[in-house]
Amino acid sequence: MKIKHLAIFLLIIFLASPVFAANTVKYNEATGEILAMGAMPNLEAGLGEAVATVDAETPANISHYTFNGTTLVQKSAEAIAQIEAERNFNTKIFFGRLIQEFSAERWYALSKLGVGWTMDQLISYPNWPGLKAYATALISDETITEADAVIINTVLLEQGINLENY
């Protein structure tokens, strides 16, 4: 009988006490960008990465935080707005707006060259710095004009994407 009472007592103590399991966070040492976080005791760091144990719950929007080696740090409002713009970017709206802004002849000429398809691949991946580099190369080799680039950037800005930030 004593064993049963002891077991019940220990169960009550266990359930009544706050229990929080520490989480492991894997992050980029240079930027603090969080690569993974959770109850993962066997997480290993790669080149330029570090792993730490923290007494913090994993935030719902982990991409809104960085890690400074000891604590989670919320990113700036501007950085969070950019993250959300990237997350919510709609390629159908983007290409629909480009078709509205370019003349039919100009859009057809660009489409024959595969410009739209390549932009779609870079956006869908997503690779925003790659899209910026691609647009810059298209201007350099005169595939698109400065006016074309302004149209593309304006349509991107409608959804909160500013290629200047990449």
Q: In which residue ranges of the chain is pLDDT below 70?
A: 1-2, 4-21
- pLDDT score for 118: 92
Q: Looking at beta carbons, which pairs linking 138-145 to residues 24 or more positions away fall under 8 Å?
A: 143/110, 143/113, 143/115, 144/110, 144/115
- In which domain, by residue range, is 63 found? 2-75
CA distance 110 to 148: 10
- pLDDT score for 125: 84
Residues 46, 119 share a domain: no
Residues 131, 64 share a domain: no
- pLDDT score for 7: 55
Q: Tell me: the pLDDT tens digits for 80-107? A: 999 999 999 999 999 999 999 999 999 9
Q: Where among 75, 104, 139 does a domain terminate?
A: 75
Secondary structure (3-state) at 7: helix
User: What's the domain count of the chain?
Assistant: 2
- pLDDT score for 42: 84
- pLDDT score for 56: 86
| Identity of the amino acid at 141 | D
Residues 71, 89 share a domain: no
- pLDDT score for 64: 96
Residues 115, 60 share a domain: no
Q: Where among 75, 92, 125 does a domain terminate?
A: 75
Residues 115, 49 share a domain: no
Secondary structure (3-state) at 23: strand
CA distance 157 to 128: 13
